[in-house]
């Protein structure tokens, strides 16, 4: 599918409040060996989803420790996870440490998932991801581990106010890029 047709289809699914604010852009390099350029999203004329750009308001992580030590990432721990650790340690660990252990384990898993998703985004082909997004149900894109599919779904008009508001807890565990677009969409409701 040509870029102009793909862009037209993506823009037709934009939430009415984001029309004119969110743009899909592409650059191509005619004489590059692989002839691929870069595609990206722009919000209010500012390019986003470019990991090498230091002016982007989205934080890109380099290591697992950066994610674990980021105070902006809230990691909710439920009673089932604490009970699992209590059973595993046979009750020998003090109560206050159980929460710390559960949070630490969950943050390690989250950090690996975020770095994996971030590295997949840096290698991904925007047109392939956009075509995938257009061909699947919106629910699959919202639940996906792919950052780009999450973002495309969040700015989509088919995702209503109620669903956006109900996603607040799940979004806390997503990459900052997904959180940025979630907040953008939530503010326009």
Q: Which DSSP category does 17 fall into?
A: G
Structure pTM? 0.76
Q: How far from 90 is each of 56, 86, 100, 101, 105, CA to CA, in Å?
A: 47, 6, 16, 14, 18
Residue 53: what pLDDT?
52
Per-residue pLDDT of 132-186, as tens digits, reads 999 999 999 999 988 989 999 999 999 999 999 999 989 988 888 899 999 999 9
| pLDDT score of 122 more than 70 | no
Residue 77: what pLDDT?
87
In whole angstroms, what is the distance from residue 19 CA to residue 41 CA?
13
Quick one: which of 128, 115, 186 has its CA closest to 154? Answer: 186
Residue 46: what pLDDT?
87
Q: Where are the alpha helices (DSSP H) in the chain?
A: 3-12, 64-68, 79-88, 95-123, 126-135, 138-143, 147-154, 161-166, 168-171, 176-187
Residue 188: what pLDDT?
92
Per-residue pLDDT of 57-102, as tens digits, reads 777 788 888 888 888 888 888 899 999 999 999 989 898 899 889 9
Residue 155: what pLDDT?
96
CA 161 to chain centre: 19
Residues 6+ apart with CB under 8 A from 147: 117, 118, 120, 121, 174, 175, 177, 178
Virtual CA dihedral for 26, 27, 33, 34, nearest 10 degrees?
A: 0
Question: Residue 134 in 3-state DSSP?
Answer: helix
Question: Residue 14 in 3-state DSSP?
Answer: strand
CA atoms within 13 A on the CB side of 115: 14
| pLDDT score of 8 more than 80 | yes
Domains of the chain, by residue range, sit at 3-57+124-187, 65-107
């Amino acid at each position: 599918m040509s870029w102009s047709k793909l862009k037209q289809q993506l823009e037709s699914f934009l939430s009415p409040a984001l029309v004119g604010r969110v743009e899909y852009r592409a650059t191509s390099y005619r004489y590059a060996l692989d002839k691929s350029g870069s595609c990206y999203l722009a919000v209010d004329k500012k390019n986003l989803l470019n990991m090498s750009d230091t002016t982007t308001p989205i934080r890109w992580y380099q290591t697992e420790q950066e994610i674990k030590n980021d105070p902006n990432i809230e990691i909710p721990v439920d009673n089932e996870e604490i009970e699992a650790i209590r059973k595993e340690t046979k009750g020998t660990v003090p109560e206050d440490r159980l929460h710390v252990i559960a949070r630490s384990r969950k943050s390690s898993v989250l950090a690996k998932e975020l770095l994996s998703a971030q590295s997949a985004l840096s290698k991904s082909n925007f047109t392939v991801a956009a075509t995938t997004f257009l061909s699947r149900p919106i629910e699959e894109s919202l639940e996906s581990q792919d950052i780009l599919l999450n973002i495309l779904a969040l700015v989509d008009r088919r995702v209503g106010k109620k669903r956006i508001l109900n996603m607040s807890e799940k979004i806390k565990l997503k990459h900052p890029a997904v959180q940025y677009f979630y907040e953008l969409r939530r503010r326009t409701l």
